[in-house]
Structure 1
Amino acid sequence: MPSRRSFLRTTSLAPLLSLTTNQTAPTLIKPAKLRPGDTIGLFCPAAPAYSHETVKITQESLQALGFQTKLGPHIYDRYGYLAGRDADRVSDLHAFFNDQSVKAVMAIHGGWGCARLLPLLDYDLIQRNPKVLIGYSDITALLLAIYAKTGLVTMHGPVGSATFNTYTVDWFRRVLMEGETVTMRNPTDKGDNLTQTQDRITTIRPGLARGRLVGGNLTVLSHLVGSPYLPDWKNTILFLEDTHEDIYRMDRMFTQLKLAGILNQIAGFVFGKCSDCGPGNGSYGSLTLDDVLTEYIIPLDKPAYSGATIGHISNKFTVPLGIDTEIDATAGTIRLLESAVS
């Protein structure tokens, strides 16, 4: 699959800043909770389904959870690095939202291409037919735009090709099937070590913060800045994650969020995982990710922590966008103050 950064380019923000902060939030809409026997629609809004086996494993995993599945008509289409033409990928999404037998819509995987669909979406159709929409990585573009335009609570969680292990399934079930007001806390198992070495959290600024939970993939989010497809950032809890990005690119994207006035509006900050985002071989004098987070987040003087199990990882939370939330940056927790589903 081609690298996302091969297709995205940072653009000048100066003439567009007014679009980043004036979005009026629509009334919040919660999708119905999922129940055994419900049908989940599977589609490819970005990169193609290169493997029929991956799709089959997705179907079998969801069936093991008690769901039925339906494949989008264009799920195996190819148009270069995209899963078919933009209009066809959009038509699969529209068809699922218009299909009353489908209760949730899940992307098979990300890649690149969701942002191309945003001007083509029928937001009125989606608003009239609210249902669970779930994915991560490039799917961030759909999650943010649909939440911003319709008020629908969207879900940053597993895609079809993700690992449906016990940890990931447990959070999926508790948030989307049980409708719990969960407290998301990383595992604390030390394994055979004297202290915990995996999934640790790091407090950047201690304290509690409350706000609407909004965020997703940093690269995708930063490249929507200046467009009308981002929500109002005032008093939000911003969560971010990424993968395979050089540190200077992370620095550049945080600079973009700062210059656009987004960081100054948030109430709190959570950084998940940045898989394979080290300085790299031969990067003499490079900043580290810790350096970048320290430089951009500490001056905000808002509660913030990093290390949450959100991102391109096997064990992941299901994180709803738009829900009132409290974070404890000292304990490293995200507590939903209301159910994400109705």
Structure 2
Amino acid sequence: MITYPIFHNQAELAVTAPSSGVPQPMHYLLHQSIQKMKEKGYHVQTGETAWTQENAKSASAKKRADELNKMLSDPSIQLIFPPWGGELLLEVIELIDYEKILPKWILGYSDISLLLFVITVKTGIATAHGTNLIDLRGTSTDDVTAKWEETLLTKKGERIDQYSSIHYQKSWMHDNPSPEVFHLTEKTEWKAVDDKKELTMKGRMLGGCIDVIRHVIGTPYGDIRQFQNHYLQGESILWYFENCEMNTVDLRRTFIQMKLAGWFKNASGIVFGRSSANETVDGYSIADFYKDLKEDVQLPIIYDIDCGHVPPQMTFVNGARAEITLQNGEAKLSQAFL
């Protein structure tokens, strides 16, 4: 069975950087984000790694793991909230003491999604793929992003519904800050590969940023069969992915490897976030990739969803029993904590 952490309105939040920390010239962003959490009534403690960055990581793998392990085993902490993603979280996963992890939420995306994925697969503890801490520094938060809080407050046995955004952000404009941090200007439209206007998928949520999750295929940290048998009692997986930097042929190679590793043998569907990557290679487009993948796995596929590096994004709970309903470009995500 999946274990769902408990969260409340005056919870203890811990900020650590198991991937990239915040360099000194950008400390003001972290201060702003922490202050917003305190204004909401949360108590915040901050680890040393959140404030440092050198050689593409916040600190050595051992220092990052030691700080993370301390927070993972601390019963007073209800949420671990990294400032943002990064590049080298993979260095840390073999140093985590999985047997000592106490149920608590971990929230983030990008490189952090690897941590979320591995912890849920290894322990059966639900984790939350959604906003990072830095993106909550604004004076207000858009409705889709803001659902992170209500999602984490959902109790075991309850359900949380989320709805697709109306508009999304095409590009970052850091030199032109907005009250909501994001500049939501482009019309959102979720699409099905076969052009179906209505489609429903059901299954247990699992996924994240494909750039980093692919590196645990075939390792003890990506044993999907064991996870399904032990924690899901054989229920099917509803996969969600988002692409940060991979081109189309790299995606193609990766998903063939996932198929060969058996990741899609008991799956109900795949959804993909919007991406500013997906670069065409020698005529091979992202549309070609989606079409080929659908033929390979014989599963329904939806793309351009609210997930990942092209915000805003919903909060996807790894392990939750979910239903995604698509109707004429708009969608509803319902997740039950069962």
Class of the TM-score when normalised by the shorter of the 2 chains:
0.7 to 0.9
2: distance between equivalents of 1:114 and 1:186?
A: 29
Q: 1:158 Cα shift?
A: 1.3
Q: Secondary structure at the match of 1:229?
A: helix
CA displacement at 1:290 relative to structure 2: 1.7
Note if contact 1:162-1:314 (Cα within 8 Å) is conserved in structure 2. no
Q: Any conservation in 2 of the 1:42–1:105 contact (CA below 8 Å)?
A: yes
Find the aligned partners of 1:314 and 1:33 in 2 and give their Cα distance. 25
Q: Distance in 2 between matches of 1:230 and 1:170?
A: 30
Secondary structure at the aligned position of 1:215 is classed as strand
Given candidates 153, 171, 195, the residue that maps to 2:147 is: 171
The alpha-carbon deviation at position 65 of structure 1 amounts to 2.8
* Cα distance in 1, alignment partners of residues 145 and 201 from structure 2: 27
Name the structure 2 match of 1:237: 238
Q: Deviations for 1:57-97, whole angstroms, at most 9, x for unmatched residues?
A: 22022223332211013333445221111111111112222
Question: Which residue of 2 is the match for residue 97 of structure 1?
Answer: 72
Q: Distance in 2 between matches of 1:239 and 1:300?
A: 15
Provide the aligned length of Structure 1 versus Structure 2. Answer: 302
Secondary structure class of the residue paired with 2:220: coil
CA 1:299/1:277 → structure 2, altered by over 3 Å: closer, same or farther?
A: closer
- Determine the structure 2 residue equivalent to 1:277: 278
The one-letter amino acid paired with 1:29 is: T
The CA distance in 2 between the partners of 1:309 and 1:320, in whole Å, is: 14
Q: TM-score, normalised by structure 2?
A: 0.81
State how far apart, in whole Å, the 2-side matches of 1:257 and 1:275 are: 23
State the distance in 2 between where 1:242 and 1:201 align: 16
What's the offset of the Cα at 1:329? 4.6
Larger mean CA deviation between 37-46 and 328-337 belongs to: 328-337
Contact 1:167–1:316 under 8 Å retained in 2: no
**Aligned residue for 1:216?**
208
Decide whether the 8 Å contact of 1:204 with 1:298 is kept in 2.
no
Secondary structure of the structure 1 residue equivalent to 2:205 = strand
Query: Hey, what's the Cα distance between the residues in 2 that align with 1:114 and 1:85?
Result: 11
* 1:116-152 per-position Cα deviation (integer Å, ceiling 9, x unaligned): 11111111111xx211111111112211111111110
1:295 counterpart = 2:257: no
Change (3 A) 1:243 1:78: closer
CA-CA distance at 1:231 after TM superposition: 4.7
* C-alpha distance in 1 between matches for 2:77 and 2:335: 28
CA contact (8 A) 1:49 1:75 kept: yes
CA contact (8 A) 1:304 1:329 kept: no
Residues 305 and 330 in structure 1, CA contact (< 8 A), matched pair in contact too: no
Task: Please tell me the residue identity of whatever aligns with 2:162.
Answer: M
Distance 1:237 1:306 in 2: 13
The alignment's TM-score, normalised by the length of structure 1, stands at 0.80
Q: Give distance in 2, aligned partners of 1:72 and 1:181.
A: 33
- Correspondence for 1:71: 46
1:289 partner letter: I
What's the counterpart of residue 93 of structure 2? 118
Gaps of 5+ in 2: 169-184, 229-235
Aligned partner of 1:250 in structure 2 is 251
Question: Separation in 2 of the partners of 1:114 and 1:230?
Answer: 15
User: How far apart, CA to CA, are the structure 1 residues paired with 2:135 and 2:186?
Assistant: 23
Separation in 1 of the partners of 2:154 and 2:116? 21
Aligned partner of 1:32 in structure 2 is 6
Q: Is the 8 A contact 1:203 1:330 kept in 2?
A: no
For 1:64 and 1:257, how far apart are their aligned partners in 2?
43
